[in-house]
Amino acid sequence: MKGPVEIHLREAQAADAQNLLQLMQLLGSETEFIALDRFGMDLTPELLGHQLTAIEESPNNLLLVAETSTGALAGIASVTADSDPRTRHIGEVGIALLQEYWGVGLGSLMLDEVIYWAEQTEIIRRLELTVQVHNQRGIALYQKFDFSVEGTLVRGARADDGHFLDVWLMSRMID
């Protein structure tokens, strides 16, 4: 990051589709901590635009973008939930930031907003996520916000070089 940059969070909109695809491609090339490779999402901007509209209209799904003052996207935070009445209260959290924004508090800002949003929905009552055991920065962030480890998924992910990675399942109740 070159000098101070103003960043604001907002919900993603259909018009963000192309920029989101580019962001996801870049994120996938920067780190193995997310479940994308260097090719990013295999969607057309039109299809992603339709999905973004559906997310925006959903009462229990969220996609936030962190946008810089220049209009560039610096990261995303999502909550993905099912529409089934038996499981619609469970939101799976995902956060990904460009490396130049690691360690400056943006992850905390985004996770705080995700938790606040979940509390306001009156639908989401459990947030859960998976995190690679060696992702110490991510684990510290989630523990800071009272996520706790529920279990280990042995061989829950695979590194680019092919070796297996253990993954923790973490959760936080929303009361």
Residue 1 has pLDDT above 60, yes or no: no
Q: 45-57 and 17-30 are packed helices; what angle lies between their axes, rounded to 10 degrees?
A: 100
- Going by pLDDT thresholds of 50, 70 and 90, the confidence category of residue 40 is very low
Residue 18 has pLDDT above 70, yes or no: yes
- Going by pLDDT thresholds of 50, 70 and 90, the confidence category of residue 155 is very high
pLDDT value for 31: 73
Separation of alpha carbons 149 and 169, rounded Å: 6
pTM of the shown model: 0.89
49 CB-near residues (< 8 Å, 6+ apart): 14, 15, 17
pLDDT value for 38: 39
Give the pLDDT mean for 70-87.
95
Query: Residue 32 class from Cβ within 10 Å (0-12 exposed, 13-18 middle, 19+ buried)?
Result: middle
Reduced to 3 states, what is the DSSP secondary structure of residue 121? Answer: helix
Residue range 7-126, CATH number: 3.40.630.30
- Residue 6 structure tokens: 């103003």
Q: Where are the domains of the chain?
A: 7-126
- Going by pLDDT thresholds of 50, 70 and 90, the confidence category of residue 128 is very high
